[in-house]
């Protein structure tokens, strides 16, 4: 940006337009409840309103900003307090501002030397989080391990799998091609990103074992052990177990202690995926989710889901950073420098897939400092309390059944009238634009998922949503 350039936006104009953009975003949040939560456009509708070709000459910034009017109908309002689909993706003012500064600085922190603050703030804030959530101390950079920010939990789990593969195969990737194949275990309820990681890591989908779950949809450790024994008997090499704390379908909690004991017995890498549920450990009363985490070789959770930090921001911890670094390290000539040589700095390019890295820790810094530990606890606690109240309203209506335990902020329930009725109910609610819900299948049944976690969602919002669900059911029961 130069004040004297004809072509670039001057700093004066940037200041002027930037203020308008901040106003635009603030107005959006003021009015967010007026939009239909789920975008109601048809496929192709947004594109059909865009110019056929790119402008030959640059346009006024004000005109570019007004293009948002054409795009807003195609926005699904994830930050609406009535968004209860999937899992939350909660953001906050401080997170947005932190991200804006990161973008404004425009740095690229691939190695320590290319912006020491980018690396050191990241290391520092991730060490803070270990204490804030009472995670095993081995995950700290001051111990044997360390934390790093990845874009998503999918990337975190992939990186864990690659480190486990390299630890077991000692870098001899031919192991995979021979009949001494490496096997991977996760539950039938695990997130699809584990299967994807197995594919990307080249370990072969046929080497992925889906462990049975119990009546609470949590992994059955007995079945895990049977599968491992069976693979060993066939000369295969059990390499990686992914346990989930808060499954995507129903927030089931895999029993980490039992699974951890099995992993220790057979020398298998234990990765724990707590993508959404992880931030619950900010509150001492929810630290049951950490039981058995001391067995884990790696751990991931997403501040971009339930910790007020805008997408994308996934925390990844490893107990032994050397194994991770050995598996991903590269050092071409052009990246050599005296600080790396001194071995006194962290070069995060060796802790993940991309070389280039943005200053992602800045938004986390903003969030933690703005809310403080207590503020974040109030946020999490409020959602869990409100979810439990909603659960009691659902339970009180005998037409509905809660089909899975509700340890935190997700309710899985169904109306007694069967799959088609429930599916029609979800479609009708979503078409109304008043609320957005998604579904899952458990034991072959169509199940409605009600997920609570957006920044602005209050008990009053839940009450109104529940009343609206009952109203819709009443209409549907008439038909
Ligand atoms: N793991 C679990 C348990 C999830 O619920 C999800 C998404 O909801 C993911 C992983 C994937 O998260 P991401 O989008 O960060 O890759």
Residue spans of the domains in the chain: they are: 30-85, 99-366
CA-wise closest residue to 284 among 380, 410, 407, 140: 380
Let me know: does 272 contact 293? Beta carbons within 8 Å: yes
Tokens of 259: 């699974």
Q: What is the pLDDT of residue 177?
A: 55
pLDDT of residue 174: 62
What's the confidence (pLDDT) of residue 180? 61
Give the CATH architecture of domain 99-366. 3-Layer(aba) Sandwich (3.40)
8 A C-beta contact, residue 282 and residue 356? no
What is each CA distance from 378 to 331, 357, 391, 460, in whole angstroms? Answer: 45, 32, 20, 17
The pLDDT of residue 171 is 75
Rounded-to-integer distance, Cα 118 and Cα 199, Å: 32
Q: Kindly report the CA angle at 113 between 336 and 98, in degrees rounded to 5?
A: 140
Distance CA 394, CA 401 (A): 8
99-366 matches 30-85 in CATH topology: no
Q: In the CATH hierarchy, which fold is given to the domain comprising 30-85? A: dopa decarboxylase, N-terminal domain (1.20.1340)
Q: Which residues line ligand 1 (CB under 6 A)?
A: 87, 152-154, 191, 193, 244, 247-248, 273, 275-276, 302, 314
Q: Are the C-beta atoms of residues 152 and 302 closer than 8 Å to each other?
A: yes
Element (H, E) at 251: none
Please give the distance, rounded to the nearest whole angstrom, from the Cα atom of residue 197 to the centre of ligand 1.
12
Q: How far is CA 432 from CA 38, 110, 280, 306, 454, in A?
A: 9, 46, 32, 26, 20
C-alpha of residue 331 to centroid of ligand 1, in Å: 31
- 314 Cα nearest atom in ligand 1: 15
Taking the centre of ligand 1 as the mean of its atom positions, its distance from the CA of residue 141, in whole angstroms, is: 25
Surface-to-core class of residue 436, CB atoms within 10 Å of its CB (0-12 exposed, 13-18 middle, 19+ buried): buried
Phi/psi for 448 (5° steps) reads -85, 130
d(CA 424, CA 437): 12
C-beta atoms surrounding 260 within 10 Å: 23
The closest-lying atom of ligand 1 relative to the alpha carbon of residue 277 is: 3
CA 190 to centroid of ligand 1, rounded, Å: 9
- Among 302, 303, 313, residue to substitute to test ligand 1 (most atoms within 8 Å of Cβ): 302
**pTM across the whole model:** 0.96
What per-residue string of b and e applies to 373-405 under the rule 16 or more CB within 10 Å gives b?
eeebbebbeebbebbeebbeebeeeeebeebbb
Nearest to residue 65, comparing CAs of 93, 33, 28?
Answer: 28
**DSSP symbol at 208:** E
Q: Which of 86, 149, 193, 278 to mutate to test the pocket of ligand 1 (most atoms within 8 A of CB)?
A: 193
Ligand 1: residue of 190, 242, 248 to mutate (most ligand atoms within 8 A of CB) is 248
Which among 154, 186, 280 is the best mutation to test ligand 1's pocket, defined by most ligand atoms within 8 Å of the CB?
Answer: 154
Ligand 1, atom nearest to 156 Cα: 16
Q: What is the residue-level pLDDT of the chain in tens, covering all 479 positions?
A: 544 456 899 999 999 999 999 999 999 999 999 999 999 999 999 999 999 999 999 999 999 999 999 999 999 999 999 999 999 999 999 999 999 999 999 999 999 999 999 999 999 999 999 999 999 999 999 999 999 999 999 999 999 999 999 999 887 766 555 556 999 999 999 999 999 999 999 999 999 999 999 999 999 999 999 999 999 999 999 999 999 999 999 999 999 999 999 999 999 999 999 999 999 999 999 999 999 999 999 999 999 999 999 999 999 999 999 999 999 998 888 888 888 888 899 999 999 999 999 999 999 999 999 999 999 999 999 999 999 999 999 999 999 999 999 999 999 999 999 999 999 999 999 999 999 999 999 999 999 999 999 999 999 999 999 999 999 999 998 87
**Number of C-alpha atoms within 13 angstroms, CB side, residue 404?**
31
Helices (H) and strands (E) in the chain, counts: 17, 12
Nearest of 433, 468, 464, 439 to residue 451 by alpha carbon: 439
CA of 243 to the centre of ligand 1 (A): 13
Task: Answer yes or no: are the C-beta atoms of 160 and 318 closer than 8 Å.
Answer: yes
**Ligand 1 atom with the shortest distance to the CA of 152:** 15
Residue-level pLDDT at 3: 46
pLDDT of residue 337: 87
Give one DSSP letter per residue of 390-432, joined into a string. Answer: HHHHHHHSTTEEE-S--SSSEEEEEETT-HHHHHHHHHHHHHH
Token representation of residue 369: 């400092």
Whether omega for the bond prior to residue 101 falls within 30 degrees of 0, making it cis, is no
Give residue 301 CA to ligand 1 midpoint distance, Å.
Answer: 9
Residues in the chain: 479
Distance CA 23, CA 390 (A): 35
Nearest-CA residue for ligand 1 atom 5 is 248
**Cβ–Cβ < 8 Å for 155, 314:** yes
Indicate the helix (H) or strand (E) that contains 26: helix 11-31
Among candidate residues 367, 281, 462, the one with its CA nearest the CA of residue 102: 367
The reported pLDDT for the residue numbered 216 is 98
């Amino acid at each position: 940006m130069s004040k004297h350039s004809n072509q670039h936006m001057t700093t004066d104009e940037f200041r002027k337009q930037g203020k308008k953009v901040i106003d635009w975003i603030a107005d959006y949040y003021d009015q967010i409840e007026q939009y239909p939560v789920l975008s109601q456009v048809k496929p192709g509708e947004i594109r059909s309103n865009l110019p056929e070709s790119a402008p030959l000459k640059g346009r006024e910034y004000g005109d570019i900003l007004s293009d948002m009017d054409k795009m807003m109908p195609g926005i699904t309002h994830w930050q609406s307090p009535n968004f209860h689909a999937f899992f939350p993706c909660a953001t906050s003012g401080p997170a947005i501002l932190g991200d804006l500064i990161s973008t404004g600085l425009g740095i690229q922190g691939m190695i320590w030397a290319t912006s020491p603050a980018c690396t050191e703030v990241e290391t520092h804030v991730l060490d803070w989080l270990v204490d804030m959530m009472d995670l095993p101390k081995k995950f700290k950079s001051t111990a044997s391990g360390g934390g790093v920010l990845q874009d998503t939990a999918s990337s975190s789990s992939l990186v864990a799998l690659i480190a486990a593969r390299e630890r077991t195969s000692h870098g001899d990737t031919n192991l995979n091609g021979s009949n001494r194949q490496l096997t991977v275990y996760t539950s039938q309820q695990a997130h699809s990103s584990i299967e994807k990681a197995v594919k990307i890591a080249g370990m072969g989908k046929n080497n992925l074992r889906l462990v049975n779950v119990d009546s609470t949809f949590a992994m059955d450790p007995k079945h895990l052990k049977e599968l491992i024994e069976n693979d060993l008997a066939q000369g295969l090499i059990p390499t990686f177990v992914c346990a989930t704390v808060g499954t995507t379908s129903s927030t089931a909690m895999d029993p980490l202690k039992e699974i951890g004991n099995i992993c220790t017995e057979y020398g298998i890498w234990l990765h724990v995926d707590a993508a959404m549920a992880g931030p619950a450990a900010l509150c001492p009363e929810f630290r049951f989710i950490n039981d058995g985490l001391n067995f884990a070789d790696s751990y991931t959770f997403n501040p971009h889901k339930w910790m007020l930090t805008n997408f994308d921001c996934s925390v990844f911890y490893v107990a032994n950073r050397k194994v991770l670094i050995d598996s991903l390290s590269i050092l071409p000539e052009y990246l050599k420098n005296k600080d790396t040589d001194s071995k006194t700095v962290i070069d995060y390019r060796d802790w993940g897939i991309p070389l280039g890295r943005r200053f992602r820790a800045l938004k986390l810094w903003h969030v933690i400092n703005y809310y403080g530990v207590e503020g974040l606890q109030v946020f999490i606690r409020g959602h869990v309390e409100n979810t439990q109240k909603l659960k009691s309203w659902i339970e009180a209506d005998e037409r509905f059944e809660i089909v899975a335990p509700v340890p935190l902020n997700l309710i899985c329930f169904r109306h007694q009238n069967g799959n088609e009725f429930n599916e029609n109910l979800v479609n009708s609610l979503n078409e109304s634009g008043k609320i957005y819900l998604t579904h899952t299948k458990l034991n072959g049944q169509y199940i409605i998922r009600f997920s609570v976690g957006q920044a602005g969602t209050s008990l009053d919002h839940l009450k109104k949503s529940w009343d609206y669900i009952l109203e819709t059911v009443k209409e549907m029961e008439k038909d």
